[in-house]
Structures are given as C-alpha cells and as structure tokens.
Chain A
Amino acid sequence: MDRYTQLVNTPIGKTVAKQVGLPKPVPLKRHTPGAPVVDGRVLLGGAPGGRLAQSLAQVLADAGAEVSTPLRPDLRAAAAEAGLDAAPWTPQASVDHRYAALVFDATGITESAQLDELHAFFHPTIRKVARCGRAIVLGTPPESARKPAEAVAQRALEGFTRAIGKEIGRGATVQLVYVEPGAEDQLAGTVRFFLSPRSAFVSAQVVRIGKEGGKVPSDFDWERPLAGKVALVTGASRGIGAAIASTLARDGAHVVGLDVPALEEDLKAVAAGIGGSALALDITDADAPRAIASYLRREHRGVDVVVHNAGITRDRTLGRMDADRWNAVIAVNLSSIERITDALIEGGRKAVLNEGGRIVCVSSISGIAGNAGQTNYATSKAGVIGIVNAYAPELARRGATINAVAPGFIETQMTAKVPLAIREAGRRMSSLWQGGLPVDVAEAIAWFASPATGGVNGNVVRVCGQSLLGA
C-alpha cells in the first residue's frame, strides 16, 4: 500500500480527505490461498430470455457462494437446478445485505429498449456493493448477434460497464464478459477470476469467451489449476516477472525462469524459492529461440504455458532518441516474442508448445494509449497486441490460446524511479485511485494460463484499475 493510501485510511486521513474532496483509495483485497472465491453474498440477475442463468448458477454453486436471485421463475428454476439455496430478492427488499458481487446475464437483451433491464437491476443495488465488491455483466459478442438491433444493444453494454467502473468506488470493480453462443459451459474460469480478489486491479475490461475452449472437468482443482504443467516465464528475475513465476508456481506449475546472463544470480534465487529452474540467456541472440525450444523439449518434454514478460525501456522523445535505443526496445519487446513463439509452435503436433498450451504476452497501456518519451516502447507494446491478434486463430486450431495483459501503473522498482509528480499522477489517475502490485498482473496471467479458460483467446486485458489513459 502506498503512503497516500495508508494516510487516507487512518481516521484523521479519512476526515481530511472527505472534507477536502481528495480521492479515497481503499486497500484492495487480494487473494490468499485457500480463501473462498467470493466472500459474501452474490446477487444473480438477468434480462428475461437470457441463456446464461443456468451456467452462472452452477458456477456460483460450485464456488460455494451465498446467492440471492430475483423472484423470476427462470432464475429461481436455474438456482434450484444448480442446488443453490438462493434467497429471493426483490427491488423493494430493503434488506441490510451488502453484495460482494452483482452478476447480470444481459444476453436476453436483443434491442436497445430492453437496456432498461440494466437500470432495473443495477439502480436499486449498485450502492449496496460491498467494499472491494464486484459487478459482472455478461453479454453476447455483438459480432455474434443474429440481428443488427441485438448487436447494437449488446455493444451498448460496454459503455454501461465502463461508466459503472467510474462510479462504483470503494475498491469495487466491474467487467463485461461477452460469451459466444455455444460457450455457455466455459464461464467458470473467467467468472471465478472476476468474482475473486485475484482480479483486484482489473476493472472496466471487456473479455470475450469463445466456444473452442472445451468443458472444465467437474473434479478440476481450482486451488492448483496448473498442477503437472510446465511454464516458461521470461524476465523472471525480478519485479513483475518474479511475481508471475511465483504465482504460476503457487498454482502448481513447474516454472522455468528465463533472464539475461547478467541477472543469473537473481534468477536462480527466484527459481530456488519456488522449486523451479533457471535458464540464463539473451532472448535477442540469434539462436535463442532454438536454444529455448531444445531446452524445454529436453528437460520437460515441451511447455504448457509461455509468458513473454521480458521487456526494457529506453525512454527519450523521438527527436532525441538514437537508433540503438529504438532498436533495442523493438528487439527485446517485440521481435524476440515473435521468434520464440514461432520456434515453440513450429512442427504441428510435434511442437514444443504442448496441446492446449497457453501463451500470454505482456503489453502495456503505453501500447494502447501512447506515452510521451516512449515512442519505441509504445510501438513494441502495440506490436504485442498485434501478435495476439495475428496468432490467435492458429493457436485456436491446436486447442491453445494467446492473450495479453496490459499493465497500467504497477508499483515496481521501475516505477519507483519515476519523478514523484508523474508517479503520483500515474497512481491516482484511475478509478481505483492507486497503483497495482506485480501480483495483480501475475494473477491475470494465471487466469489466462489456466486450463479452465480455453475459450479465452485473442483477448487483451488491462490490469490498470481503469486508468484514465487510453481508456
């Protein structure tokens, strides 16, 4: 927790902040192993005619959530079918419940006039969301809509969730999940992630779940989803990379950490701490892709999860930037990812990337919004999004996925060096009024890496607390 957040959460700080009208960041709840997915009551609602109530009820039941639903026959029947002892909820119920999450199936909305269902559900409940609570709206991807009117109404959901994100406050987050028809049984991994404190710093995002994912087995181990899997994490010796490595290890993976030889000592320490392995090489070397591929094949018979986290900055405004600065950033942040990915997926069925593999890239909000002094960095990180878009169809064909996280302001050694005024602006200019932690990025990557999220492919999700930049 940064010092300002500590300060405004003291009794005096609270009073002062309130009187002066300062932003009021609340300490975000984060995941602890063994903790329930959602701590508190979930209100499950939906527009009439929706197609997700049954699977949402099942996800909530499996997660052991306490649930309320409106007294509509379809929702009550869905809850009963899922074995949920759901309390009835009506708008006039002035019950003293605070909701840990509001979950709304908007797939029944097929024309703009029906958007009033959003108002009817959220108007009486939005101010009853608990601290660090959640709001999740699920819709149909506009591109999958059967009629223009439905596409319009579904596209409208995005403005709604982004606006709620800016209103909801108190550390709560909101997401929009577009579920392709046929992907109704693919919700568990994503809904659990967004309900839980694992998604603490992710807000106002739009995620698409496709139908290619395959069903999650009923005995799936949600505590150790990566048990028996091998994960490669580049740039693993410190900062976000180290957090990614330990989070994937926590989820059961054997982690192969990779970093440049100059950081080998740090890298080995990280690997030792999580029972992983260390691979010291420079990813921009010409034979690095081949070396990585043969190492993974030789030591681990392939790899299941690849996290392209390694990245550098060489900031200068463009007029002052020499070619070396430009080229170094493009080579590390972009070209090497392409080359390594190609090396890991070549060979069809015999590829080093195992069937059902997961590739996760680390982009940046600089790549989305652009940033003064970072033309090279922004170019590379936008290119990373290009990689996700370009490779997603090919990976889908082999039951694998590729996605990216785009971190916003994360509290690391790198951001600690940023001048105070700019650093404070970066921290506060988001709906959560604070910076994120490396683990927030790692948790999002672990969600993409999970075998339960096979339908999540080609997505770019920002881990930025709904930063105002590039929104």
Chain B
Amino acid sequence: MTPAAPRRAVVLGGNRIPFARSDSAYKKASNQDMLTAALDGLVERFGLAGERLGDVVAGAVLKHSRDFNLTRECVLGSRLAPETPAYDIQQACGTGLEAAILVANKIALGQIEAGVAGGVDTTSDAPLALNEDLRSILLDANREKSVQGRLRQLLRVRPQQLAPAIPRNEEPRTGLSMGEHQARTAAEWGITREAQDELAMRSHQNLAAAYERGFQDDLVTPYLGLERDQNLRPDSSIEKLAKLKPVFGGADGTMTAGNSTPLSDGAAVALLASEEWAKQRGLTPLATFVDAETAAVDYVNGREGLLMAPAYAVPRLLERNGLTLQDFDLYEIHEAFASQVLSTLAAWEDPVFCTQRLGRSEPLGAIDRSKLNVNGSSLAAGHPFAATGGRIVAALAKALHERGGGRGLISICAAGGQGVVAILEA
C-alpha cells in the first residue's frame, strides 16, 4: 500500500486571550489557566465542543515541572472531547509556529484531519527552582535509609542555599541576555535608534487600528478583565519613545523598553485542518499553510548574531518554493526587538551577507515596508514567548483572506540562535 500524496493543510482561524504585562492582570493565572481559556475560546468560536481532534500541540518556554503534560491537561480541562490527544513542545519563541508546522505536516500526510497549534507563557507565575546545592542535599537525604543519616545530610543545609534559583532571560552558553546579544547585532548593522522607534510606533498604531476596525474581534477573547493587549499604547509617539533611556548596549545603546518587547503573559492557539474537514463543517479556510523552514546559527563563537537565524531560514524557504523575497503581499516579522527586524532586513540587502553567508549570487533585496506587520506585532501586543506563533498564524491567515488572497511570510527568531519561518497563501 502506498501512502497518500500530501494534501493541503489550511488555517481556519485562531483565538487568543489579550496579552498582559508581566505581574499585572494575569499575575495569578497559571499557564494551564491561560492555555485552557484560549482553547475554550476556540472551541466556542468554531463549535468544537465534544469534538475529538487529531492533535493539540502547544508548549510553554517557562514551565513548572508539574506541568510536564501541560497541553494534555489543558485539553482535559477544556470542552474538547477528552479523547483528543495532545503533546508539548518547546523551541523558545519559535514554539507556537513550530507547533503549527507539526500539525500542518500531519494533516498534509493524512495522519490527522484537524488539529490545534499554539502556546502559552507567563513571566508572572514563573517557576522558581530550588537552589542547586540544596537540591543535591535533599536528594542525598532522600537516599539515606536511617533517620540519623537523613538528619546528617540535612545539617549540611546553609542559609544562603534557601534562596531559590530564578529563571533568567540569558543564553546559558554566553551568559548574555538576549537583549545584550541583539544590541551587538544592532550596532554591527548600524541600526539607529530613530529607525527602531519608528518601527515601534508603527506597531502600536497598526495594532490599535486593527482593534478599532474590528479586525481582532474574532481573534481575541477577553480574559480576566482585559479586552485588549495591555501593552498597546495607541497614543505612542516618536517624541515619547525618544525620551526612553537605553536598556541594552550600554549608555550609548539604541535599544529601549519602547523598542524591545516587554515581559508578558498570554496564550494563543490556531485551528488547522484538511480542506475536506473544513468543508464538512461549513468552515471557510483562511489560508493554506504552504511550507516552513527552521534554521540555527553559531552565535556562541560570535560568528553570527543570536537572533539572525531567520535571515538564513527565509532564503532556504524561498529557494525551495521558487520565490523571491518580493513575492509576498504581507510580511509578519516577529518584533522581538525592533532592531531584530531591522538587522534582518539589512542583512538581506547586504551583498556580503547574501553572497558569503547565504551563498547566493546577489542580495535578496529590500521589501516594501508598507506590507510589514500591517496589523501590529509583538512590540505593541507583547510577547508571551510560546504564544506568539499562534497569534501570528491566525492573524496573517485572516489578513490574507480579508484582502481576497495573496501570500504571506512569517519569520520568528528564537533563543539558542534559532529561527522558524513559514509561508501562508490564500
């Protein structure tokens, strides 16, 4: 028996809760609470109560050890059929999009008919770990057979070992925060403060406009009193952004709290299916999930910037699909930092980067900036790490459908020097 030829996987829509700033509206909400809420909103929107779906794939970057089966627990807590299988993945900020790739691939291969992809993160309800020395003493004590032996081990505990290990936003192999890494890349590519602030302002304006015209109405479900993303500042202006002090790259740095994403909490999911499954339920496909690529770079030895992997992933994806960078109607380049977006675009215009590092004969060239992040992106919405992919897949699919067709590019950079990119088409 030969397996069926691959078929189209389509995006039907999505749902997310408004993203909150860290230690604010969702400070008491757990990852499980938020992902379940996002999932139930999707069930509600697409009438999926009691449905057995092929897979629910999601993850969280900051996760409690008790949440080892986070997504499955959320499914059990949702109104989906309890017979719906689920699994967790984690690829830093690429988690949500990688989840969508996995679901789309299973659909394309005919292994499942429909699935949900997404992610959740909280920086408020963050897991605290035991001090590493304390942990080792407790494990030693546990191995002892006698009460005396256990006591002897426990007497080794010293007061400073009672302080917990707090999860840190830094690369284990370089000890530098993601912002410090990106500050170097931004300086290398000569990304100015003005250009970053301009991109940040446009993100706020575009997201605000998207809410105003009702674009978000079937993408976002209010949660715990929030109706819109808490970080959104519709009145953001170049003047206000220009007043902020640099937070990365030292006193001469160009990156501020205004042009870098804040720590945030939230969850997002997207619904993907085969065309047949959608047709049976009378659901309209918004866009086809065409193809995807993941790349990684050697940032450890300083050969490449930590967040430059999408600059490698996109050209490979274009090559495979016979497309140029200009063959897109919409671009969704995740705004981890305004300078990440701008460094990536600068690299694609640079003859040296494109010939020497990408092995191309000429640069990919510039993009039409009016097609970039047209409904706002992470600088305005916030960026709960694993939730960003689900937000972008659903929003881009809708935007392509809304304009009556077209092609869209998604690019998401991730910790560990990775990048996940994809093409949607309507």
- Which A residues are closer than 8 A to B by beta carbons? 69, 71, 73, 76-77, 79-81, 83-90, 92-95
Contacts and interface: CB of A to CB of B under 8 A. Distances in A.
A88 B188 contact: yes
Contacts of A89: 188
Contacts of A80: 351-352, 354-356
B252 interface: yes
Contacts of B254: 92
A95 B188 contact: yes
A83 B346 CA distance: 19
Given A90-B189, A92-B192, A95-B188, 17 more contacts: A71-B346, A76-B350, A79-B351, A79-B352, A83-B355, A84-B356, A85-B352, A85-B357, A87-B188, A88-B188, A88-B190, A89-B188, A92-B190, A92-B254, A93-B188, A94-B252, A95-B184
Contacts of A77: 351
21 contacts: A71-B189, A76-B350, A77-B351, A79-B351, A79-B352, A80-B354, A80-B356, A85-B352, A85-B356, A87-B188, A88-B188, A88-B190, A88-B352, A88-B353, A89-B188, A92-B190, A92-B252, A92-B254, A93-B187, A93-B188, A95-B184
B175 interface: no
A88 B351 contact: no
A93 B355 CA distance: 23
A92 B187 contact: yes
A87 B189 CA distance: 9
Contacts of B187: 90, 92-95
Nearest to B360: A80
Contacts of A69: 352
Contacts of B190: 71, 88, 90, 92-93
B352 A86 contact: yes
Contacts of A73: 351
Contacts of B354: 80
Contacts of B356: 80, 83-86
Interface string B183-201: 0100111101000000000
A173 B5 CA distance: 68
Output the residue of B252, B254, B353 with the most chain A CB within 10 A.
B353
B310 to A, nearest CB: 17
Interface in B60-97: none
* B interface majority secondary structure: helix
Output the residue of B252, B254, B356 with the most chain A CB within 10 A.
B356
A351 to B, nearest CB: 48
B164 interface: no
B249 interface: yes
A84 B351 CA distance: 10
Contact of A76 (B188, B252, B352, B357): B352
A80 B187 CA distance: 21
B149 interface: no
B170 to A, nearest CB: 18
B6 interface: no
B250 interface: yes
A77 B356 CA distance: 11
Contacts of A79: 351-352
A44 to B, nearest CB: 11
A87 B303 CA distance: 9
Contacts of B353: 88
Given A71-B346, A85-B357, A90 B188 contact: yes
Contacts of B357: 85
Contacts of B252: 92, 94
Interface in B163-184: 184
A93 to B, nearest CB: 4
A113 B254 CA distance: 30
A94 B250 contact: yes
Contacts of A86: 352, 356
Contacts of A84: 352, 356
A88 B355 CA distance: 14
A363 B352 CA distance: 45
A302 B353 CA distance: 51
A107 B184 CA distance: 32
A94 B255 CA distance: 14
B312 to A, nearest CB: 14
Nearest to A90: B190
Contacts of B346: 71, 88
A293 to B, nearest CB: 53
Interface string B336-366: 0000000000100011111111000000000
Nearest to A92: B187
Nearest to A80: B351
Contacts of A81: 351
Contact of A88 (B189, B192, B249, B250): B189
B357 to A, nearest CB: 6
Interface in B262-302: none
A89 B350 CA distance: 12
> Can you list the 3 inter-chain pairs with the closest CB atoms, starting with the nearest?
A90-B190, A80-B351, A85-B356
Interface string B241-264: 000000001101010000000000
A92 B250 CA distance: 12
Nearest to B343: A88
Contacts of A93: 187-188, 190
A85 B359 CA distance: 11
B165 to A, nearest CB: 30
Output the residue of B192, B350, B352, B357 with the most chain A CB within 10 A.
B352
Contacts of A94: 187, 249-250, 252
A407 B190 CA distance: 44
Interface in B18-61: none
Contacts of A90: 187-190
A84 B350 CA distance: 13
A120 to B, nearest CB: 13
B75 to A, nearest CB: 47
A94 B350 CA distance: 20
A85 B357 CA distance: 7
B365 to A, nearest CB: 12
B184 to A, nearest CB: 7
Contact of B350 (A71, A83, A92, A95): A71
A107 to B, nearest CB: 21
A81 B350 CA distance: 12
A89 B184 CA distance: 11
A76 B252 CA distance: 25
Output the residue of A77, A81, A92 with the most chain B CB within 10 A.
A92
